[in-house]
A and B are shown apart, each in its own frame.
Chain A
Amino acid sequence: MKFTVSWLKDHLETTATTDEIVAAMTMAGLEVEEVIDPGAKLAAFSVAKIVEAVQHPNADRLRVCQVDTKDGRKEIVCGAPNARAGLVTIYAPIGAYVPGIGVTLEARPVRGVVSNGMLCSGAELEVDGDADGILELDLKLAVGTPAAQALGVADAVIDFEVTPNRPDWLGVAGIARDLAAAGVGRLTTRGVTPAPARIVSPVRVATEDESACPVFAARLVRGVRNGPSPAWLQQRLKAIGIKPRSALVDITNFLCFDRARPLHVYDAAKLKGVVRARLGKAGESFAALDGKTYAVTPEMCVIADDNGVLGLGGVIGGESSGCSEQTTDVLIESALFDPLRIFQTGRATGINTDARYRFERGVDPGFIVPGLDLATRMVLELCGGLASEEMVAGKIPGPPAPVIFDLDRVRTLAGLDVKPPRVRAILKALGFESEAHEGSFAKRIIVQPPSWRSDVQGRADIVEEVARIEGYDKLPANDPPRATGYRAPAASVGESRARIARRALAGAGYLECVTWSFCEKKHAALFGGGAEALLLANPIASDLDCMRPSALPNLLRAAQRNLDRGHGDALLFEAGPAWTGADETGQSRTVAAIRQPRPQRHWQGAPAPDLYAMKRDCMLVLSAIGAPMTALMAGPAAAPWQHPGRGGSLKIGNRVVAAFGDVHPRILAGLDVDGPALAFEIFVDLLPPPRAKATREKPALEKIDLMPLSRDFAFVVDDAVAAADLVRAAYGADKTLIEDVALFDVYRGPGVAEGKKSLAIEVRLQPREKTLADAEIEAVSSKIVASVAKATGGVLRG
């Protein structure tokens, strides 16, 4: 919403500067976005009068002038052909910055004569394009008058954000009311005296749908002359960027901004029959004032006569009934429309008008008729004619319901101590009526909000009004309460685990990414996602149309983007959500990591990053976040993205809690990512929560002083046997003595039959009560061999 300070002063008597007005607006909740002060750059300039102008002794085209200025009489050298005695013009003192020529004035001789300032042309001040001579102003202007005022550009334009609850701020009078309440000045908005009815309107109005158009009021003025509007009115509109058209149209625009009252004027000669608000009919269309033709739908509220649709009520008028210079009889419409329908019609048609903007936010139902009367008065004043009676179709809604208000509520809700008389004074200034509530010992009042404040529905709204005008700067700041006892940390199990996982992976060299929660549907499908329920109905881009089933596709695509820029060997992870469904259980917390490896080069030789490195990092995270490591079972590749032969999973019971390995080449091709690529993914929510214990005490350390000992075994097993099964079998052979089993060699080749492999393990035994005798060690060894044989069919390598 834009307005000028001089327009504001039509409604507010104030001595406040623009800066003070802006500050008061900000603190009253009118968030100023921009102040354009065209007079600011002219601050140094003022009106001066040439007393004498004589030929410069050393230059034909220059004159030496004696000039009366605000700084006294000055000798100024001037090259303008029109510099002459008696001329009233604009003077720039030494030190002034002249915007049109980009120069700061210095006192220096011009052909031997020192010029103590400058007399300015319009171009030099950037006020009009005339560069031929210095400005010639009204001879009556007093010397020293600020240039901005003398040139009529003194008016600052203020642009501010109107919050949706305050459509009354879409009129200058409404702004003035709040500023007056805030103590900036005195509200001077005049009441409306209806113009008497001299004729009976030949045109009748009606509303056929009182939900779409609750009120349709109109007056007809006969015998108008519709020429250009007066200069003051044109200037008001031009200052806020509205093009003056004709007196009738300018009046409607003026009141739209002056009183937040949208109006429409029809050339009554072009109307046929009753003018009615009704819902549109399929197949109807009309040519609007913006030059376009719009099809009408049954959802839209139209204004129509017997010839058909005249316009979209509250949105835009039609060409057929528009006013022109030939208009002699005008029908002035002041109506009320359903905000929601206006919003939908506006959005469907793409029409943004000042009327739509106001109707969709809600206009003051109490000002439908006064607004009509005010418009009629202006038409009579500016265009002449005779006014008809008021025609009001529909029922004017009443003001908001009264609110019973405890005067102490400002203190108990806002923490601001405002005395009761002040509370009532603020409310009165804002247009709220209040009276004591019976039997409440003056602690309680009944507040009647004004008709333009439909946003006020309860006590909290009243508190805001009082606190806002009293000033939020007066709000005390209470220190936050200190802890009086134990406070649980601001964390959840899942969030704590995510924090630890981030540290673990960043410590292992991975860069944490945060990528979109969405991905492309076809990419989602590669990872088992892309279900209909998880598609966005209105994606922002076609490649972001689906909730991701995993962070992996986004990470892999990111790795490729980095590679394409010359930054390969990406090691990326994300600790974030993934979706299997749209209900509350469909979102899970995951840790996903990828590597698009490049052969490693080191002068000592370096192992190629492979799935075992990914498995290590996966297990590093699992261990760090408290997964039950000894309960994890090795399983085959389980996720759709996995290479079937080069990956695995880690399970607790039947649940896959993590998967790792090479990314399937087909998946990479589908993502358009260069292979090979490695990945792992951990489903954090599937891990059991930490066991709740009564204390934080750790179990006592079992420290056995007997020397542990190791024995190596090599088993020949079928190639298909999973090493983890053999290790597990060995481990399980004696749960008291066997402390650890480490697999240290895998061998295929001479000495081992085709289709077989040799797996070598080192078993560490921890004697518990006494040193083990050879026979006892032998017994454990036999149990290991038997257990491995049973589980895997493996036999000791001869």
Chain B
Amino acid sequence: MSDLATLEADLSARIVAATDEASLDAIRVDALGKQGAISGLMKTLGTMSPEERQAMGPKLNGLKDRIGEAIVTKKAQLAEAALEAKLAAEKVDASLPPPAVRTGAIHPVSHVMEELARIFGEMGFALEEGPDIETDFHNFTALNFPPKHPARDMHDTFFLNATDEMGQRKVLRTHTSPVQVRTMLKQKPPIRMICMGRTYRKDSDATHTPMFHQIEGLVIDEVTTMADLKGTLMAFIKAYFEIDDVRVRFRPHHFPFTEPSAEMDVGCDRSGGSVRIGTGDDWLEILGCGMVHPNVLRACGLDPEVYQGYAFGMGVDRLATLKYGMPDLRDYFAADVRWLKHYGFSPYLLPGLAGGL
């Protein structure tokens, strides 16, 4: 074996045996550095005869290239191995639990109110608001409750110690109808509004709580009839219960503030313990409605010879129960975290037509 072959074999063996970048670099210096073996041989080329140079040049250059390449290759291998080792050392148990994120929820009443606002909003109803503490005028008188009507009694209505300008005790509104009164007093027809919110009656059992929620609607113009009322409410029922076909029944009823008055029943199926709206032969009373009483229009400064329209009202909590379960109304207001987590709604669920209600 020539000297060159011995040198190449020796360097190659050392490269293969190198275990880290430092030792590899030492080999490079030994072979290709300024004082390196190959560099030293390259320098001798100048002292050679042209013939010798002709023979040795290519051999030396070939050796230099092969060793250089071997070093680069080995270097990449070492880097790869080092990364593998580092990665192996960094391994953790990814099955450990992450930092806790609490899941919150929106109360069913809030969710249902948004659904209602959405549905009636799309039918062109604007949202109106009014205070929970009302005057006798807005809550009763303007709504054609006769003086001393039983609803005005301390047994049924909450009174405050505060009094109004007439010296009458203020009341906690027993329905959201005073918002209708306020709207008619401030705005000329056409009126197309809903109002929602807390209402209060002196009741307490599984289906009555001293505070509950109502939604009411009011349309006043010169031509609206009970047929418009029926069609709008049918459209509402379909949208809210997400059913195509719904049987409804208007039954005559009596309210002081509407004439004619009706209660609306929807078809339902009570077999199997729960109520399914839209199917079955049974009826479920769902709301009260009617044409606004001329006395109410008059009390709100509107001429009943010119204006007419309808009003309807229903219990939000009851609507929530009918769609989502939750039979005992008292639970709605008990703030029991088990109930809230179970019946509450994800904040990412947007009531709306794009994503279903």
A413-B291, A478-B231 given as contacts; is B105 within 8 A of A472 (CB)?
no
The answer to the question of B96 belonging to the interface, with a C-beta cut-off of 8 Å to chain A, is yes
Q: Residue on A with the closest CB to B103? A: A509
**Residue pair A516, B210 in contact (C-beta under 8 Å):** yes
Q: Residue on B with the closest CB to A340? A: B148
Could you tell me the distance between the alpha carbons of A476 and B259 in the complex, rounded to whole angstroms? Answer: 18
Q: Residue on A with the closest CB to B223? A: A412
**Residue pair B132, A577 in contact (C-beta under 8 Å):** yes
Q: Which of B5-13, B24-32, B270-278, B331-339 contacts A (4 or more CB under 8 A)?
A: B331-339
**Residue pair B158, A475 in contact (C-beta under 8 Å):** no
Contacts of A509 in B (CB 8 A): 101-104
**Residue pair A535, B161 in contact (C-beta under 8 Å):** yes
A509-B104, A514-B109 given as contacts; is B337 within 8 A of A537 (CB)?
no
**Residue pair B158, A536 in contact (C-beta under 8 Å):** yes
**Residue pair B260, A506 in contact (C-beta under 8 Å):** no
Kindly identify which residue among B153, B231, B249 contacts A347, using a CB–CB cutoff of 8 Å: B153
Contacts of A472 in B (CB 8 A): 249-252, 262
Q: Residue on B with the closest CB to A604? A: B99
**Residue pair B210, A473 in contact (C-beta under 8 Å):** no
- The 0/1 profile, CB within 8 Å of A marked 1, for residues 135-170 of chain B is 000000000000110100111001111100000011
Contacts of A577 in B (CB 8 A): 132, 198
**Residue pair A511, B340 in contact (C-beta under 8 Å):** yes
- The 0/1 profile, CB within 8 Å of A marked 1, for residues 91-134 of chain B is 00000110111111111011000100110111111110101110
The answer to the question of A31 belonging to the interface, with a C-beta cut-off of 8 Å to chain B, is yes
Q: Which of A76-84, A163-171, A212-220 contacts B (4 or more CB under 8 A)?
A: A163-171
The answer to the question of B254 belonging to the interface, with a C-beta cut-off of 8 Å to chain A, is yes
The answer to the question of B226 belonging to the interface, with a C-beta cut-off of 8 Å to chain A, is yes
Contacts of A510 in B (CB 8 A): 102, 104
Chain B 254-273 interface residues, beta-carbon cutoff 8 Å to A = 254, 259-263
Majority-rule SS of B interface residues: mixed
Distance of A507 from chain B, by nearest CB (Å): 5
Kindly identify which residue among B107, B124, B235 contacts A514, using a CB–CB cutoff of 8 Å: B107
Q: Which of A439-447, A485-493, A627-635 contacts B (4 or more CB under 8 A)?
A: A485-493
Distance of B43 from chain A, by nearest CB (Å): 50
The answer to the question of A503 belonging to the interface, with a C-beta cut-off of 8 Å to chain B, is yes
The answer to the question of A712 belonging to the interface, with a C-beta cut-off of 8 Å to chain B, is no
Q: Which of B33-41, B57-65, B341-349 contacts A (4 or more CB under 8 A)?
A: B341-349
Kindly identify which residue among B118, B161, B230, B252 contacts A27, using a CB–CB cutoff of 8 Å: B252
Contacts of B200 in A (CB 8 A): 517
Q: Residue on A with the closest CB to B182? A: A584
**Residue pair B104, A473 in contact (C-beta under 8 Å):** no
Question: What total of A-B pairs shows CB separation below 8 Å?
Answer: 265
Q: Residue on B with the closest CB to A28? A: B252
Contacts of B188 in A (CB 8 A): none
A487-B124, A507-B348 given as contacts; is B252 within 8 A of A517 (CB)?
no
Kindly identify which residue among A459, A478, A480, A586 contacts B123, using a CB–CB cutoff of 8 Å: A480
**Residue pair B226, A467 in contact (C-beta under 8 Å):** yes
The answer to the question of B54 belonging to the interface, with a C-beta cut-off of 8 Å to chain A, is no
The answer to the question of B211 belonging to the interface, with a C-beta cut-off of 8 Å to chain A, is yes
Contacts of B106 in A (CB 8 A): 502-503, 506, 512
Contacts of A602 in B (CB 8 A): 97, 99-100
- The 0/1 profile, CB within 8 Å of B marked 1, for residues 17-57 of chain A is 00000000011110100000000000000000000000000
The answer to the question of B194 belonging to the interface, with a C-beta cut-off of 8 Å to chain A, is yes
**Residue pair A490, B102 in contact (C-beta under 8 Å):** no
> How many B residues are at the interface, by size bracket?
35 or more
Contacts of B121 in A (CB 8 A): 487, 489-491
- The 0/1 profile, CB within 8 Å of B marked 1, for residues 459-501 of chain A is 1110110011000110111111101000111111011000100
Could you tell me the distance between the alpha carbons of A95 and B118 in the complex, rounded to whole angstroms? Answer: 55
**Residue pair A464, B202 in contact (C-beta under 8 Å):** no
The answer to the question of B75 belonging to the interface, with a C-beta cut-off of 8 Å to chain A, is no
The answer to the question of A540 belonging to the interface, with a C-beta cut-off of 8 Å to chain B, is yes
**Residue pair B260, A468 in contact (C-beta under 8 Å):** yes
Contacts of A508 in B (CB 8 A): 102, 104
Kindly identify which residue among A461, A502, A517 contacts B259, using a CB–CB cutoff of 8 Å: A461
Contacts of A480 in B (CB 8 A): 123-124, 228, 231-232, 235
Distance of B86 from chain A, by nearest CB (Å): 22
Q: Which of A411, A533, A570 has the most CB of B within 10 A?
A: A533
**Residue pair A570, B337 in contact (C-beta under 8 Å):** yes
**Residue pair A473, B249 in contact (C-beta under 8 Å):** yes
Majority-rule SS of A interface residues: mixed
Q: Residue on B with the closest CB to A161? A: B253
**Residue pair A499, B114 in contact (C-beta under 8 Å):** yes
**Residue pair A414, B226 in contact (C-beta under 8 Å):** yes
Q: Residue on B with the closest CB to A601? A: B100
Contacts of A567 in B (CB 8 A): 337-338
Interface residue count for A (Cβ, 8 Å)? 99
- The 0/1 profile, CB within 8 Å of A marked 1, for residues 206-228 of chain B is 00001100000000000101111
Contacts of A571 in B (CB 8 A): 102, 104
The answer to the question of B294 belonging to the interface, with a C-beta cut-off of 8 Å to chain A, is yes
**Residue pair B100, A507 in contact (C-beta under 8 Å):** no
**Residue pair B332, A514 in contact (C-beta under 8 Å):** yes
Could you tell me the distance between the alpha carbons of A757 and B13 in the complex, rounded to whole angstroms? Answer: 65
**Residue pair B252, A464 in contact (C-beta under 8 Å):** yes
Contacts of B335 in A (CB 8 A): 513-515, 554-555, 558, 561-562, 572
Contacts of A489 in B (CB 8 A): 117, 121, 127
The answer to the question of A600 belonging to the interface, with a C-beta cut-off of 8 Å to chain B, is yes
**Residue pair B148, A468 in contact (C-beta under 8 Å):** no
**Residue pair A414, B225 in contact (C-beta under 8 Å):** yes
The answer to the question of B175 belonging to the interface, with a C-beta cut-off of 8 Å to chain A, is no
Could you tell me the distance between the alpha carbons of A477 and B249 in the complex, rounded to whole angstroms? Answer: 11
Could you tell me the distance between the alpha carbons of A514 and B331 in the complex, rounded to whole angstroms? Answer: 10
Could you tell me the distance between the alpha carbons of A29 and B249 in the complex, rounded to whole angstroms? Answer: 12
The answer to the question of B293 belonging to the interface, with a C-beta cut-off of 8 Å to chain A, is yes
Could you tell me the distance between the alpha carbons of A600 and B150 in the complex, rounded to whole angstroms? Answer: 55
The answer to the question of A405 belonging to the interface, with a C-beta cut-off of 8 Å to chain B, is no
Contacts of A476 in B (CB 8 A): 227, 230-231
**Residue pair A343, B100 in contact (C-beta under 8 Å):** no
Distance of B204 from chain A, by nearest CB (Å): 6
**Residue pair A479, B254 in contact (C-beta under 8 Å):** no
Kindly identify which residue among A478, A533, A604 contacts B160, using a CB–CB cutoff of 8 Å: A533
Could you tell me the distance between the alpha carbons of A600 and B332 in the complex, rounded to whole angstroms? Answer: 29
Could you tell me the distance between the alpha carbons of A495 and B252 in the complex, rounded to whole angstroms? Answer: 35
Q: Residue on A with the closest CB to B226? A: A414
**Residue pair B110, A539 in contact (C-beta under 8 Å):** no
Chain B 304-349 interface residues, beta-carbon cutoff 8 Å to A = 308, 332-338, 340-341, 344, 346-348
Contacts of B230 in A (CB 8 A): 415, 475-478
Name the 6 nearest CB pairs between A and B, nearest first.
Answer: A509-B102, A415-B227, A29-B252, A582-B162, A490-B121, A415-B225
| 7 pairs of residues in contact across A and B, judged by CB atoms under 8 Å | A163-B253, A476-B231, A478-B228, A491-B127, A512-B344, A518-B211, A537-B169
A509-B101, A537-B161, A540-B158 are known; give 12 further A-B pairs, CB within 8 A. Answer: A31-B251, A412-B223, A415-B227, A475-B226, A478-B232, A480-B235, A492-B129, A533-B161, A538-B158, A547-B133, A582-B170, A606-B99
